């Protein structure tokens, strides 16, 4: 009887978490649509705020902010494992809304970059992802990287909030 109850609980939690899961997919799609637009318009040195923010088309074979550059196959494998783990997290009940949003943002960013990397590995483009945001001294990044950073920041806030209680 216990496995059946557990299955029903997992189903109900997954059903409850369907909305954040769908929003994660939408974030990944938004990231890829924006990257596609940036590539098709070939934005280079488009200044938004002088010496602060500009759009400049770059490509990255590493993960967020240029880490593990040149190791696209490894980052694809690593990202795939993280993606699977993230999807399984949606079967659990989140501790609070902050944690729910955190996982939603991280999953959305992972879907965005992983989707593009997968297509570019298949096309022989070395698994590159499109980076285009240049902010101050930070290495070039994209919307998916921002989503992942926001999600991790929210997870830290959630953990600190839980630690205090």
Q: Give 73-98 pLDDT, tens digit per residue.
A: 888 898 899 888 888 877 777 888 89
| Residues designated catalytic | 131, 145
In the chain, the percentage of residues whose pLDDT exceeds 70 is: 88
The number of domains in the chain is: 1
Closest CA relative to residue 134, chosen from 126, 142, 145, 144: 142
CA–CA distance, 31 with 27 (Å, rounded to integer): 6
- The domain of 70 spans 2-164
Model pLDDT, residue 4: 55
44 near 109, Cβ under 8 Å? no
């Amino acid at each position: 009887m216990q496995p059946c109850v557990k299955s029903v609980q997992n189903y109900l939690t997954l059903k409850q978490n369907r909305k954040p899961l769908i929003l994660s997919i939408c974030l990944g799609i938004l990231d890829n649509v924006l990257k596609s637009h940036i590539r098709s318009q070939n934005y280079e040195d488009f200044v938004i705020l002088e010496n602060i923010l500009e759009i400049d088309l770059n490509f990255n074979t590493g993960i967020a902010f240029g880490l593990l550059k040149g190791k696209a196959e490894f980052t694809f494998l690593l990202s795939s494992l993280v993606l699977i783990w993230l999807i399984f997290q949606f079967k659990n009940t989140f501790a609070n809304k902050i944690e729910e949003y955190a996982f939603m943002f991280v999953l959305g960013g992972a879907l965005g970059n992983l989707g593009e990397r997968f297509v570019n590995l298949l096309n022989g483009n070395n698994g590159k992802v499109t980076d285009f945001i240049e902010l101050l001294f930070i290495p070039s990044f994209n919307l998916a990287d921002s989503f992942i950073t926001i999600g991790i920041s929210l997870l830290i806030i959630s953990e600190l909030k839980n630690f205090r209680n």
